[in-house]
């Protein structure tokens, strides 16, 4: 089974890389980009039967730093 | 005073750390990241560098290594620990210190000497400095932007746990924080490099007071 974990900075945590992307889009002439948040996608190839609770545990203990990041799990 | 310096793949300040501790009079051993036994030591130093290539997040992979389980046990027994630069990132990733180190606000890697204010002298690490003293130490990092939520920042201030602040906050750290202490004041994490400021031949000796104070206090303990 496949699962995707989307990790992004929490709301309220300034994302300097997202801000740099927003400025670059503006200089390319893309108006109206009000905000950019950069994150990462982690694809997991998992043994069948892996539970969502186990994936949550992976996120809490390693894949995301919940001090600054939030995560969303998508099971294919 | 006996000290262990942890070594991860990608550590690059481990020998500088060992030399600084030895210059202050400590008996130092290096411990590889796969060792689950640190031995009987008073201080564990987590050095700077780019452990595991900074993959995933700075310090995140190192924090899961066998030696970090031993580090956690050492700290839980009341042992002392010093994390510098990547070592500070490892200490936050292990949860031994609160907060996180994010990408510098200006997005660039910054390598220079920077002025720091000694924010508390109430610790074995900082008792060798004068309260409010400004010292200069080298910094060399891409991810030194200290972040913690408002409650954590208030707690750190209330408990006098902010060890050093930037006089010139170049990386966007909350409340200018350059280094913090644990609740029992025996764990210090800091982004600037005191171990790179222990020899006049390389520009500064203003980091030496940290190592001398540490060795003096732990030798008496």
Q: What are phi and psi of A75, to 5 degrees?
A: -100, 125
CATH topology of domain A2-75: Mth169; Chain: A , (3.30.1280)
What value of ipTM does the predicted structure carry? 0.86
| B152: closest chain A residue by CA | A67
pTM to 2 decimal places: 0.94
B:37-96 residues touching chain A, CB 8 A cutoff: 56-57, 60, 64, 92-93
B:85-114 residues touching chain A, CB 8 A cutoff: 92-93, 98-100, 102-107
Tens of pLDDT along chain B (221 residues) come to: 999 999 999 999 999 999 999 999 999 999 999 999 999 999 999 999 999 999 999 999 999 999 999 999 999 999 999 999 999 999 999 999 999 999 999 999 999 999 999 999 999 999 999 999 999 999 999 999 999 999 999 999 999 999 999 999 999 999 999 999 999 999 999 999 999 999 999 889 999 999 999 999 998 66
Domain parsing of chain A, residue ranges: 2-75
* Separation CA B148–CA B155 (nearest Å): 10
Closest partner CB to A68 (pick from B105, B106, B147): B147
**In the annotation, is B193 catalytic?**
yes
| A13: closest chain B residue by CA | B147
**In the annotation, is B142 catalytic?**
no
* Separation CA B124–CA B209 (nearest Å): 10
Phi-psi label, residue B52: left if phi above 0, alpha if psi -120 to 50, beta otherwise: left
Chain A residue set in contact with B, beta carbons under 8 Å: 13-14, 16-17, 20, 62-63, 65, 67-68
* Residue of B212, B213, B143, B155 whose CA lies nearest to B180: B155
Contacts with A63 from chain B: Cβ below 8 Å = 56
* Separation CA A67–CA B150 (nearest Å): 12
**In the annotation, is B85 catalytic?**
yes
Q: Do A74 and A3 contact (CB within 8 A), yes or no?
A: yes
* Separation CA B57–CA B45 (nearest Å): 20
Domain parsing of chain B, residue ranges: 2-220
Q: Please give the structure tokens belonging to residue A22.
A: 């927003």
| A41: closest chain B residue by CA | B56
Contact A68 B102 (CB under 8 A): yes
Architecture field, domain B2-220? 3-Layer(aba) Sandwich (3.40)
* Separation CA B115–CA B164 (nearest Å): 10
Chain A nearest C-alpha distance from B87 (Å):
16
* Separation CA B202–CA B73 (nearest Å): 36
Q: Do B7 and B31 contact (CB within 8 A), yes or no?
A: yes
Contact A68 B100 (CB under 8 A): yes
């Amino acid at each position: 089974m496949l699962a995707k974990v989307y990790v992004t900075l929490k709301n309220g945590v300034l994302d300097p890389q997202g801000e740099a992307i927003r400025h670059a889009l503006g200089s390319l002439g893309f108006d109206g980009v009000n905000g950019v948040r950069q994150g990462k996608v982690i694809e997991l190839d998992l043994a069948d039967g892996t539970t969502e609770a186990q994936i949550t545990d992976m996120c809490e203990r390693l894949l995301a730093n919940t001090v600054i990041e939030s995560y969303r799990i998508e099971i294919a | 005073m006996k000290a262990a310096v942890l070594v991860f793949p990608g550590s690059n300040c481990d020998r500088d750390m060992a030399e600084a501790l030895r210059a202050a009079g400590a008996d130092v051993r290096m411990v590889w990241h796969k060792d689950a036994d640190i031995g009987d030591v008073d201080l564990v130093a987590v050095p700077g560098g780019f452990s595991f290539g900074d993959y995933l997040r700075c310090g995140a992979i190192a924090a899961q290594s066998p030696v970090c389980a031993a580090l956690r046990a050492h700290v839980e027994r009341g042992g002392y620990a010093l994390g510098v630069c990547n070592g500070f990132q490892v200490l936050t990733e292990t949860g031994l210190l609160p907060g996180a180190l994010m990408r510098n606000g200006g997005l660039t890697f910054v390598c220079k000497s920077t002025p720091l204010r000694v924010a508390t002298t109430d610790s074995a690490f900082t008792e060798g400095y004068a309260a409010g003293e400004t010292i200069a130490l080298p910094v060399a990092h891409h991810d030194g932007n200290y972040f913690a939520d408002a409650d954590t920042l208030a707690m750190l201030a209330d408990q006098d746990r902010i060890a050093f602040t930037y006089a010139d906050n170049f990386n966007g750290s909350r409340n200018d924080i350059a280094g913090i202490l644990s609740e029992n004041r025996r764990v210090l994490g800091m982004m600037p490099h005191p171990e790179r400021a222990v020899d006049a031949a390389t520009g500064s000796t203003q980091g030496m007071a940290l190592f001398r104070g540490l060795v003096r206090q732990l030798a008496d303990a």
